[in-house]
Homo-oligomer: A and B are copies of this chain.
């Protein structure tokens, strides 16, 4: 059980990104493709997710892949495409940074810096994003305890950046029917322990399209402050993560169901 003193608990951190106040009583939705593949695809996706109510465009320009043979992302040109597509459709941008040397570059194009699961304990990177003026979305490591996750957040807070958003994205267990095991009890518990906003990733955690909507609803019922969801105009042609990407139409249906659950949660007075 994590010591209550593992992190310096904030009362309740609200993080402003453009017009959205993450953790401040409205649901933050980040949507977009796993990887930036082309400007055309990105504009189509940005248009679609914006119309369905997402406020933030996600997409990877630097991709941390298990295999060196897998697509590693478009790099800097991908960052510019993200910014252009987001601006065109009134969205903010979140994207991942992998290398201490790239933090400034990514911060020039993105509104939120993402630190991925594989780098959750990359302390050099945590310190570097902690010096940035951008909010940081910190994904839970694949096999990180809540305590380690909160201590990783503390690295960023200690470096001077108070704007940390936690993201539960599933943990590694023996179960192989889903890509990871989404740990929704962690959502309630880290909010209770840290006061930081928590976002849930139902796409990477389950790895199955049919589970993205039920897990989005469950996440919101568990108290999540937002969702990060993979949407692709043509999942069957996606460069990565096609099996769990939603089409824009599926994403629209998800949004309407999730909103109804969120309303019921709010009415409960929480």
Interface of A with B (CB < 8 Å)?
1-2, 6, 64-69, 72, 98-102, 118-119, 121-125, 142-143, 145-148, 151-152, 154-155, 158, 171-178, 181-189, 192, 205-206, 208, 210-211, 214-215, 217-223, 256-257, 260-261, 263-265, 267-268
Contact = CB atoms under 8 A, between A and B. Distances in A.
Given A122-B118, A142-B143, A215-B184, A68 B175 contact: no
A108 B206 CA distance: 42
A185 to B, nearest CB: 5
A72 B183 CA distance: 31
Contacts of A69: 154
Contacts of A175: 145-146, 171, 183, 186
Contact of A67 (B154, B189, B263): B154
Contact of A192 (B185, B210, B267): B210
Copy tally for this chain in the complex stands at 4
Given A122-B122, A217-B265, A260-B264, 7 more contacts: A66-B147, A66-B148, A66-B152, A98-B123, A100-B100, A146-B175, A175-B183
A27 to B, nearest CB: 14
A174 B141 CA distance: 12
User: Top 6 A-B pairs ranked by shortest CB distance?
Assistant: A143-B143, A118-B121, A221-B221, A99-B124, A218-B222, A264-B264
Contacts of A99: 100, 124
A155 B65 CA distance: 10
A256 to B, nearest CB: 8
Contacts of A125: 122
Contacts of A146: 175, 177
Contact of A181 (B2, B177, B181, B214): B181
13 contacts: A66-B147, A66-B148, A66-B151, A67-B151, A68-B123, A99-B100, A118-B122, A119-B121, A145-B174, A145-B177, A176-B176, A177-B189, A261-B264
A215 B185 contact: yes
A113 to B, nearest CB: 15
